Amino acid sequence: MINQKVSVHAIINPISGVGSKRAIPRMIEKICSRNDHALTISFTEYAGHASVLTQAALDAGADYIIAVGGDGTVNEIARAMLHSRAILGIVPKGSGNGLARELHIPMDSKKALEVILKGNVTTIDCCSANQRVFFCTCGVGFDAAVSQKFAAEKRRGSITYIKNTIEEYLSYRPQPYELLVDNQTIKEKAFLVACGNASQYGNNAFIAPHANIQDGMMDLTILSPFTPLDIAPLAIQLFTKQIDRNSKIKTLKAKQVRIIRQQDGVMHLDGEPVMADAVIDIHVIPAALKVFTPEVITFSKEVHNFFEEVTRFFDKRLPYIFK
C-alpha cells in the first residue's frame, strides 16, 4: 500500500500585525519539501477570505492548515475547521497573538514552524457568542470600546494599543448589566464583562488567569468601576496573572452566560470588534479543534520566553521612543 502524502495548506494574511512575512512562504516550502508533504499556499485578500480559503482547503482534503497572521486571521481559519479532522498550525504574526501565546507557541516564525514539524497535537475548546465563534476571549464594555478604536488605526502594535486604552479610559462610563451565569442571576454596574475560554487577551494580558482552554468551562471576569488610583495595580496584576486578587474584580466559572445590557452595541471576539444585540448568549463548545502545540512547557521555559519577548520589545521600541 502506497502512503499518501500529507496535504498542507498555508493561509497567509500579508497585512496583519507589525512584522514582515516575506520570508515565511520559503520557510514553509523548505519544511514541506524536506518531509515530502504536498503544499498549497494562499494569501488573504479581504476580511473573511481566510474562512473561504480554509473551507476550500478542507474540501480538498487538507491534513494540516497553517495560519500565518494575527488573532483575526487565526480566528477565521480556526472557526472554519471546527470538528474537522484537519490540524491547525499557527505562525503568529499579529499584534496580540492571544491563542498562540495561550498555547505557548513561539513568537519566532521558524520556531513556530518547528512546533508543527514535531507533531504534538492538543484538542481545545472554543466558545460561541450569539453564534459567533471565539477561542480566547469575548467581552463588552471598556475592552470592546478599545478594540473598536484600535481596529480603526492604521498603525498597529503595543504603543498604539496603550495610547488607545488611555484615550478611551478618559471618556468611558461604566454600564449596568444583568448576567445569567448558569443558574445564577447577577446585576452589576461594570467597567467591562469578559468571558475567557483562554486566560488572556493577547500580549500576555491575563484577564482570566485561571481559565483552562480544555476544561469545558469559561471564566467570567467582571470589573467594577474604579478610580485613576486603581489603574497601576490593575495593570500590574493584569500582566502578572493576579488580576483576580484585585477587590474591583469578580470571577466565576460557567458553561453558559447570558449578558443583558441596555442597548445594542459593540462586543469583541478575540480582540475583533463586532456589533451585537443587547442580549448576548455565550456557551462553551468542548473539544472543538485540534492544534499543533509544544509538548511540555516548564516554568523556567516560560520565564525565559517572557524575558526574551521583553528584550525583543525594547530592542524594537527604544530607537522609536528616544528619537
pLDDT value at residue 19: 67
| pTM score | 0.84
Domains of the chain, by residue range, sit at 7-119, 132-285
d(CA 105, CA 317): 23
pLDDT value at residue 321: 42
Residue with cell 480554509: 54
Residue 95 contacts residue 161 (beta carbons within 8 Å)? yes
User: What cell numbers appear for 65 in the block?
Assistant: 492548515
d(CA 160, CA 183): 40
pLDDT value at residue 306: 54
pLDDT value at residue 300: 46
pLDDT value at residue 299: 43
pLDDT value at residue 307: 56
Please identify every stretch of the chain with a pLDDT value under 50, giving residue numbers as ranges: 1-2, 298-300, 319-323
- CATH number listed for the domain at residues 7-119: 3.40.50.10330
As separate numbers, helices (DSSP H) first and strands (DSSP E) second, the chain gives 9, 16
Q: Give the right CATH number for 132-285 from 3.50.30.30, 3.30.420.40, 3.20.20.140, 2.60.200.40.
A: 2.60.200.40
pLDDT value at residue 146: 85
Residue 221 contacts residue 238 (beta carbons within 8 Å)? no
CA distances from 308 to 65, 70, 209, 215 (A): 28, 20, 21, 29
DSSP string covering 260-320, please? E-SS-EEEEETTEEEEE-SEEEEEEEEEEEEEE--S---HHHHHHHHHHHHHHHHHHHHHH
